[in-house]
Amino acid sequence: MLSQDDSRSAKPGKRATINDVARVAEVSKKTVSRVINQSPFVREDTRERVQAAIDELGFIPDPQARGLAFRRSFLVGMIYDQPSPTYVVNMQQGILDALKGSGLELVVHPCSRNSPTLLKDIRGFVERQRLFGVIMPPSVSEDDAVIELLRELDCPYVRIASLALDEPQNMVVTNDWIGAAEAARHLADLGHRRIALVRGLASFRSSAVRGQGFIDALAERGIALTPEYDLQGAYTYESGVEAGHALLSLPQPPTAIFTLNDDMALGVMQAARERGMELPRDLSVVGFDDLPMAARVWPNLTSVRLPIREMGQMAAEKLLAPMRGVDPAKLQQPEVRPALVVRSSAASLG
Amino acid sequence: MLSQDDSRSAKPGKRATINDVARVAEVSKKTVSRVINQSPFVREDTRERVQAAIDELGFIPDPQARGLAFRRSFLVGMIYDQPSPTYVVNMQQGILDALKGSGLELVVHPCSRNSPTLLKDIRGFVERQRLFGVIMPPSVSEDDAVIELLRELDCPYVRIASLALDEPQNMVVTNDWIGAAEAARHLADLGHRRIALVRGLASFRSSAVRGQGFIDALAERGIALTPEYDLQGAYTYESGVEAGHALLSLPQPPTAIFTLNDDMALGVMQAARERGMELPRDLSVVGFDDLPMAARVWPNLTSVRLPIREMGQMAAEKLLAPMRGVDPAKLQQPEVRPALVVRSSAASLG
DNA sequence: CTGAAAGCGCTTACAG
DNA sequence: CTGAAAGCGCTTACAG
C-alpha cells in the first residue's frame, strides 16, 4: 500500500499534476489551484511552500484541463483577411511577443470578407475553441457583423484600425494619417507642387484616413489636391499600373505621386518605365507599408512604415490586461507612430 | 422533477453536450462517443439515430474535453525559422487547407535555431499543449536535435526539406534541384555561356541541392561551372549585392547570374545598377522563390517557384493520415514540382 | 454491438 | 485563509 503511494510520488516519465504538487506541499489541490491562479487568499508561507513544490516537480498546469474547467481555452485567435504576408507575419510575431510566458498560444484564422460563410466560419472557430480572445487587423476589424457576432458569443476582442471604431479597451488605433502627412510634407519639401494621390480600396477605412492626412498636410503647404490628381486604386499592383498611366497621360502630368500602399507604388513605377521615363529623375514616387521590397527595388522606394509588430503586441496586451488585473481601458500604451523611411525614389524637383 | 428534465433538454443558450445527444438518441454517451470517433462497432441504425440527434442539436464535441481524455490536443503546431513572410503565410494557408473540417487548429511557433533556449522552448510548447503533431519547413526541419526531441516526446511530425532526411511518412521532399536545373537550361537556351551561381547559406541543405541541380544541368549542355563563378552568399539581399560586385568586377565577368533566392537576385541587380549597367541588356538574372516582388520589380524577375501552399497541405495530410485510417507512408501524394516562371530579367545574349 | 463506472487535470460553489 | 465535494465534457478499460 505504502509502496504504491511512493511510486505515485515518483511517477517516472509522467508529468506532474496538481495532485502531485498538493501531496508534496501538503496542502489541498484547491490551494495549489489558488497559487496557480494568483489568488490573494493564500498565506504567504503557504504560497512559498506550494511554489517550491511546483518548482521541484517542474509542474506545468495542463491548459486543456484548465480550459475545460474554466469554460474558456488558452488560445488567442488572429482573424485576418490581410493580403500582405509581411503584415500578417509581423503581426503574428508581435502578438507572440506579448503572449510569451503567459501560457497562451496563437491560433491563426485567415478569412475572406466576401465569403458567404464568413460569419458561420468565425462562429464555429470561436465557439468550438472557446477562444480566450481574438485579434483582428484591417479590414476584418472594420466589419460590423463580425464584431456583433463576437459580442454575442461573449468573446473578448481587440480591433486594429486606422480609426477609433470601438471603446479604447477593444482598439489599437494606428494613426495612419500621420504617416501620410509626412509623405506630403516630404514631397512638398523636395519642391514638388504637382503632386498626385492614388488611393486604395474605398472599402478599407485606411484609404480615407491616409488620403485625408495627405490632403490636409498638402493644404498646410498651400497645395490643393485637384480632382484629376486624386485617383481611386485598389491596393493592387495592377491598379497602380493603371493609375500611373492615367496620371502620366494627363496634359499636365504630376511630378510626384503618393500611393497608399507599396504595391501600387511599384505599379506606378512600372507604368512610368513603360512610358520610357527614368526614375526618380522624371517622377518621384512614395509608397506606404515599407514592405521588404521597398528597400530592394530600383530606385529604392521611399515609404511610410507602420510598426506592425508593435501593433500586434499592443493588441495582445490589451487582451491580456484583465488576466493581469489591469483595466484594459487604462493600460498605458505608446501611441502608434508611423514613420517615413526616406530612400531614393522621391527626389528634389529639377 | 420532470420539468427539470425538460428544461435540461432545452438548455437555452448553452451548447449541447454528449449527454444531450445521448438522451435524445436514447443511447449511452459511450455510443455517441463511438459515433464521433467513427468506431466501426456501431450498428448502422444506431449510428443513424445518433447522427440525427447530433444534427438536431447542432452538437460539436468540445476539443478541450476530448483532448483531456485523449491526452492529446487537437492542435497542429507549425515550428519555423523561415525568414520569408511569403513562405510562412503560404505554408500556413496550405496547412489550413488540409485541416479544414478536421476539427484541428493551427498554432504558430516561430523560433531561432541559434537561440540557446531553442530545445527548451520547443519542448515546453509541445509538451504543454500535447500537440497533435508538428510541421516544420526548412531550416528547422533539418535540425537533428529538434527531431530527436520530438521523437523523445512522442510527437508526430512532418519535415519539409529538399532532401529525404527521414522516413516517407515524416517527409515532404521538395525537389528543388528540378527548378534549379530548369533555370540552368533557360539561361543556356538564351545563349549564355558565362553563367555564374550565387549560393545561399551553407547551413541550409537547399543551397547544396539547388546548386547541384544547376551544375548538373549546365554540364548536360556542356558548360562547366568554374570556381570563380561559384560564389557563396547568405540568402540575404546584402550578400547578393556583394556577390554581384565580386562577379561583375571579374576580368571576364559573367553574362548571366543565377542566385539561389530572390533576395540575392535583387541584390545582384542592385550591384549591376550601381555599376551603371542596364538590365537585362548587360546582365541576365534569375532568382529562386518567385516572391510577389519578382513580378513587381523592373525588369520583372524570372524565378523558380515552389508550390509552398501545396507543400503545406501535403505535410498536413501526412499528419492527418493516421486519424483517417490511412497509412501515411502509402498516402498517394503528388510530387512537388518546382516551375520556372519566365519573365524579362533574363534575355537572350546579344 | 452497447453500457455503467472511473478517470483525464483542473476549477467552481459551498463550507468552515 | 483552507478544504472536501461535485463538475467541466469527453474517453479508456472493463464487462456483458
Give me the number of domains chain A comprises: 2
Mutation for testing the A interface, residue in B72, B89, B259, B269 having most A CBs under 10 Å: B89
In chain B, the percentage of residues whose pLDDT exceeds 70 is 96
Q: Is the pLDDT of residue B11 over 60?
A: no
Instruction: Give the CA-to-C1' distance from B4 to C8 in angstroms.
Output: 29
Residue B6 reports pLDDT greater than 50: no
Asked if residue A118 is part of any domain, the answer here is: yes
C-alpha distances in Å from residue A208, one per residue of A173, A177, A197, A213, A264:
15, 9, 12, 9, 16
User: What pLDDT, on a 0 to 100 scale, did the predictor assign at position B333?
Assistant: 84
Average pLDDT over residues A119-142: 96
What are the φ and ψ backbone dihedral angles of A116, each rounded to 5 degrees? -65, -20
Task: Mark yes or no for CB contact B92/A110 under 8 Å.
Answer: yes
Alpha-carbon distance A220 to nearest alpha carbon in chain B (angstroms):
34
Round the average pLDDT of chain A to a whole number and report it: 93
B340 part of a folded domain? no
B158-187 pLDDT, tens per residue? 999 999 999 999 999 999 999 999 999 999
Both B185 and B265 in one domain: the answer is yes
State the virtual CA torsion across B120, B121, B126, B129 in degrees, nearest 10. 120
Domain presence at residue A10 = no
Paired strand residues for B109: B79
Q: Do B180 and B301 lie in a common domain?
A: yes
What distance in Å separates the CA atoms of residue B314 and residue B332, rounded to the nearest whole number? Answer: 10
Considering the domain boundaries, does residue B221 fall inside one?
Answer: yes
Q: How confident is the model at residue B13 (pLDDT cuts 50, 70, 90)?
A: low
> Which one of A64, A66, A93, A128 makes the best mutation probe of the B interface by having the most chain B beta carbons within 10 Å?
A64
Q: How far is B258 from chain A (nearest CA, A)?
A: 17
Quick one: A170 and A189 in the same domain?
no
- Binning pLDDT at 50, 70 and 90, where does residue A42 land? confident
Strand blocks (E) in A245-314: 256-259, 284-288, 302-305
Mind telling me how many Å the CA of A130 is from chain B's nearest CA?
Answer: 9
Choose among B32, B107, B98, B94: nearest CA to B62. B32
Q: Tell me: the pLDDT tens digits for B98-126?
A: 999 999 999 999 999 999 999 999 999 99
Give the distance from CA A147 to its chain's centroid. 16
Average pLDDT, chain B: 93
Q: What is the pLDDT, as a whole number, of residue A156?
A: 96
CATH number at residue B29: 1.10.260.40
Would you put residue B142 in left (φ > 0), alpha (ψ -120 to 50) or beta? alpha
Of B67, B86, B124, the CB nearest to A64: B67
Length of chain B equals 350
Residue B221: burial class (beta carbons within 10 Å; 0-12, 13-18, 19+): middle
Q: Which set of grid coordinates corresponds to residue B127? A: 509538451
- Whether the CB-CB separation of B59 and B18 falls below 8 Å is answered with yes
Alpha-carbon distance of B80 to B298, in angstroms, equals: 31
The verdict on a CB contact (< 8 Å) between B73 and A86 is no
Q: Are A293 and B85 a contacting pair at CB < 8 A?
A: no
Q: Which domain holds residue B226?
A: 176-305
Strand C bases contacted by the protein (CB, 7 Å): 1-5, 7-13
Whether residues B158 and B188 share a domain: the answer is no
Distance in Å, alpha carbon of A46 to nearest chain B alpha carbon: 26
Q: Are residues A285 and A265 in the same domain?
A: yes
A27 CA from D4 C1′ (Å): 12
Is it the case that residue B154 has pLDDT exceeding 60? Answer: yes
- CB closer than 7 A to strand C: which residues? A 14-15, 17-19, 29-30, 32-33, 36-37, 59-62, 65-66, 68-70; B 27-28, 30-31, 34, 40-43, 46-47, 65, 68-69, 71
DSSP B125-136: HHHHHT-SEEEE
The mean per-residue pLDDT over the stretch B244-261 comes to 98
Give pLDDT, residue B38.
87
Does A108 contact B128 at a Cβ distance shorter than 8 Å? Answer: no
A85, A232: one domain:
no
How far, in Å, are A82, A316, A337, B324 from residue A310 at the CA level?
17, 10, 10, 41
Rounded-to-integer distance, Cα B125 and Cα A99, Å:
13
DSSP-derived 3-state class of residue A171: strand
Beta strands in chain B (DSSP E): 75-80, 105-110, 133-136, 157-161, 171-173, 195-199, 230-232, 256-259, 284-288, 302-305, 339-341
Among A99-108, B299-308, B317-326, which stretch is predicted with the lowest mean pLDDT?
B317-326
Note whether residue A64 is domain-resident.
no
Mutate to test the interface with A, among B112, B237, B296, B344 (most CBs of A within 10 A): B296
- Restricting to B residues 177-236, those with a Cβ less than 8 Å away from any Cβ of A are none
E-strand spans in B52-209? 75-80, 105-110, 133-136, 157-161, 171-173, 195-199
| Neighboring chain A residues of B86 at a CB cutoff of 8 Å | 85-86
Which residues, at least 6 apart from B252, have a Cβ–Cβ distance to it below 8 Å?
A: B194
pLDDT digits (tens, 9 = 90+) for B263-273: 999 999 999 99
B313 touches A: beta carbon within 8 Å:
no
Residue B12 has pLDDT above 80, yes or no: no
* Residue A86 included in any domain: yes
- B75 in reach of chain A (CB within 8 A): yes
Q: What is the mean pLDDT of the segment spanning A315-327? A: 90
* Window B:93-122, CB contacts with A under 8 Å: 93, 96, 103, 105-108, 110
A328: its cell numbers: 484594459
Q: Note whether B40 and B82 are same-domain residues.
A: no
Which residues from chain B sit within 8 angstroms of residue A130, using beta carbons? 62, 64
**A268-290 mean pLDDT:** 97
Residue A23, in any domain of the structure: no
Q: Check whether residue A152 and residue A78 sit in a common domain.
A: yes
Nucleotide with smallest C1' distance to residue A39 CA: D1
- Indicate whether B104 and B31 sit together in one domain: no
At residue B14, the pLDDT reads 75
* Rounded Cα distance, B134 and B43, in Å: 35
Looking at the structure, tell me whether residues B101 and B192 fall in a common domain.
no
> Which chain A residues are within 8 Å of B108, Cβ to Cβ?
92, 96, 106, 108
A109: exposed, middle or buried (C-beta count within 10 Å: 0-12, 13-18, 19+)?
buried
Q: Do A107 and B75 touch (CB under 8 A)?
A: yes
- Is the residue at A279 inside a domain? yes
CATH of the domain at B234: 3.40.50.2300
Let me know whether B108 and B220 are in one domain: no
Please indicate, yes or no, whether residues B225 and B256 belong to a single structural domain of this protein.
yes
pLDDT of residue A302: 98
* Confidence category of residue A125, pLDDT binned at 50, 70, 90: very high
- One-letter amino acid at A149 equals L
Res. B278: pLDDT tops 70: yes
CB-contacted nucleotides of strand D (7 Å): 1-5, 7-13
pLDDT band at B326 (very low <50, low <70, confident <90, very high): confident
